[in-house]
Structure 1
Amino acid sequence: MELRQIQYFIEVAKREHVTDAANMLHVAQSAVSRQIFNLEQELGVELFIREGRNVKLTPIGRVFLEHMKEAVQVIDNAKREVEEFLDPERGTIRIGFPSSMANYTLPTVISVFREKHPLVKFKLIQGTYHYLTDAVVNGEIDIAVLGPVPKDEKKLKSVVLFQERFVALLPSNHHLSGNRTISLSQLREDQFVLFPNGFILREIVVNACKQNGFLPDVSFEGQDIDAIKGLVSAGLGVTLIPEITLIDSHPRSTVKVHITDPEVTRSVGIIIPKERELLPTEKLFYNFLKNFFAMLGGFNK
């Protein structure tokens, strides 16, 4: 079994089309077909069901795909580890983050880090909370910065960096827009703009409202922080979002109001895999993150 065969197999399985896979791999279709045929002959099983020009994995093909993806990941990590062992200052860090970290938190940290380590490269992957935790576990990414920090995850190691406060974002013509602070229960009768079901920021807001005796009336949903802000700006509802997301991007026709009864917060931190070692460049950034926010915490105190 050759690495090239495995790479061709994974690409065909991903696209379910030999021609499309060949185009992506920049090789002839016949070369891909031949390698897949040779692989099946060697294994003694059919990995694909042919349906005209399309193909689909057989049940054993799906099992084989998962093992081969893991194998390729191990090989890639080994190559990177050798490269970074020779020079950790030139490695690549794959880091995941949610949309709420995209505008300020992560860009700020990376900018400061690159002042000290200018040759380190980053591969940034934005995703939902649950996607990021799964991606760290299965090796798609190495480190994720997210909130809240998961607890009791057997395959993850978590470090809390800081506590983040949520604020109410209201249309400027809202009857509470002139207040410096409000209680969450004062929004009981309002329509809310929130993330769709399954997003952790929605869960935080809904749980906070439930604890105050009401369920938020969700009138509109947005897939990211900027969409949420835009819908509030249009006067379509109110929302609760992390305060840090408003530092560089305060939408027009909106007002930020602090919530004091109760204060809504989340922990923000780093998750890394518990069952595999970080590569040298990843360790460099991981330790930098912990020291950077520890220094900020000490300064704030």
Structure 2
Amino acid sequence: MNLKQLQYFVKLAETEHYRKAAEELYITEPSLNRAIREMEKELGIQMFEKRGRNIFLNKYGRIFLPYITRSLQELEKGIQIMKAYTRPDQGNITLGFVYTMGYLTVPEMITQFQGIADNKDISFDFKQGTTTSLIRALKEETLDIVFCSAVENEPDVLFYPIAEEELVVVVPKGHPLSNRASVSLKELEPYPFISFTPSSGLYKKITGLLEDADCHPRVVCHIEEDNAMAGFVAMGYGVAIVPNFYTLQYYSLDRIPIADPIEARYLFMAVNRQANLLPVVERFRNFVLAHWHRSSI
């Protein structure tokens, strides 16, 4: 059974007239008759009956018709969606980003992009997570583009630096290190330390900074998300090193600059090298590269 036979069946069921159906389908009556007979033969049941010069859809045909109609409607809907995806000025982009980028960077980026008249019909679905989970989703092609930390040994992923993120020490209000103009990492060693989970892109960065400073604090827990970490610090559970993100100002903690010389921390746009990007995704990628890409690092 093929698509043409299904379309012929629906038209004949609508008209209950071979000549009229054939004319509307732009085929000959013998061709239509042959297609219906082959379809009935494959199903093993007759769905049209003759009554004099007329034909009628019998009870078996009436049972079968709504299933074919819904199937053809869904197929047409899918075709229209696929056609829409080939247009660069409309469609949907699935975008993933690490938690700290959801406060200002990504909202600002999306607002700028959709503020361009030709992009008004482009929509987004968002997913937040750790760098590890986002890169996995990118490679599985459930996300189109990801904003995260750079990851080593990922030859199928292209990383473009797009934003710099300052790291600071955070301590609860009234802590012995509070109100300091800056603090060296070695000074954190006596205090309970809250670490990011190993799946976070920051875990390796911060662990490396502490090792370089010969600082080996007692890790009391691992936390995935930045706001949760700030909450634990504010409650006096420990100290931490976090990105200096916007909502830290609302927690009962102090932010202290790091005195040690450290390399800048960058966040990246990650794109699957193996994926065939839809035109709408390419448009957004090119926008980011034109307006946010830091090519000098």
Pair 1:222–1:79, CA change in 2 (3 A): farther
Q: 1:154 aligns to what?
A: 155
User: 2:99 is matched by which residue type in structure 1?
Assistant: S
Q: Distance in 1 between matches of 2:294 and 2:267?
A: 16
% of aligned pairs identical?
23
Q: Distance in 2 between matches of 1:115 and 1:210?
A: 45
In structure 1, list runs of 5 or more residues that go unmatched.
3-76
Q: Distance in 2 between matches of 1:110 and 1:255?
A: 31
Q: Distance in 1 between matches of 2:257 and 2:181?
A: 6
User: 1:184 is matched by which residue type in structure 2?
Assistant: L
Q: Distance in 1 between matches of 2:79 and 2:207?
A: 44
Q: Deviations over 1:182-240 (max 9, x none)?
A: 21111111111222343332222222111111223122333311110101111111111
Correspondence list, 1:205-220, <5 A: 205-220=206-221
Q: Distance in 2 between matches of 1:264 and 1:140?
A: 32
Q: Distance in 1 between matches of 2:80 and 2:216?
A: 51
Q: 1:253 aligns to what?
A: 252
Q: 1:107 aligns to what?
A: 107
Q: CA deviation at 1:80?
A: 5.5
Give yes or no for contact 2:161–2:294 (8 Å, CA) kept in 1.
no
Pair member with larger Rg: 2
Give yes or no for contact 1:97–1:127 (8 Å, CA) kept in 2.
yes
Q: Distance in 1 between matches of 2:81 and 2:160?
A: 25
User: 1:251 is matched by which residue type in structure 2?
Assistant: Y
Give yes or no for contact 1:81–1:279 (8 Å, CA) kept in 2.
no
Q: Distance in 2 between matches of 1:237 and 1:251?
A: 18
Q: 1:134 aligns to what?
A: 136
Q: CA deviation at 1:260?
A: 2.6
Once the two structures are overlaid, the 10-residue window that deviates more, 196-205 or 99-108, is 196-205
Q: Distance in 2 between matches of 1:218 and 1:251?
A: 25
Q: Secondary structure at the match of 2:259?
A: strand
Give yes or no for contact 1:81–1:280 (8 Å, CA) kept in 2.
no
Q: Secondary structure at the match of 1:106?
A: helix
Pair 1:203–1:115, CA change in 2 (3 A): same
Aligned partner of 2:125 among 108, 120, 123? 123
Q: Distance in 1 between matches of 2:134 and 2:79?
A: 22
Q: Secondary structure at the match of 1:261?
A: coil
User: 2:110 is matched by which residue type in structure 1?
Assistant: I
Q: 1:90 aligns to what?
A: 90
Q: Distance in 1 between matches of 2:173 and 2:217?
A: 20
Q: Distance in 2 between matches of 1:233 and 1:78?
A: 53
Q: Distance in 2 between matches of 1:296 and 1:202?
A: 25
Q: Deviations over 1:27-79 (max 9, x none)?
A: xxxxxxxxxxxxxxxxxxxxxxxxxxxxxxxxxxxxxxxxxxxxxxxxxx997
Once the two structures are overlaid, the 10-residue window that deviates more, 232-241 or 174-183, is 174-183
Give yes or no for contact 2:130–2:224 (8 Å, CA) kept in 1.
no
Once the two structures are overlaid, the 10-residue window that deviates more, 255-264 or 281-290, is 255-264
Pair 1:154–1:79, CA change in 2 (3 A): farther
Q: 1:227 aligns to what?
A: 228
- Does residue 1:178 correspond to 2:179, yes or no? yes
In structure 2, list runs of 5 or more residues that go unmatched.
4-77
Q: CA deviation at 1:265?
A: 3.6
Under a length normalisation based on structure 1, what TM-score does the superposition of the two structures give? 0.66
Give yes or no for contact 2:157–2:271 (8 Å, CA) kept in 1.
yes
Pair 1:267–1:295, CA change in 2 (3 A): closer
Give yes or no for contact 1:192–1:238 (8 Å, CA) kept in 2.
yes
Give yes or no for contact 1:169–1:241 (8 Å, CA) kept in 2.
yes
Under a length normalisation based on structure 2, what TM-score does the superposition of the two structures give? 0.67
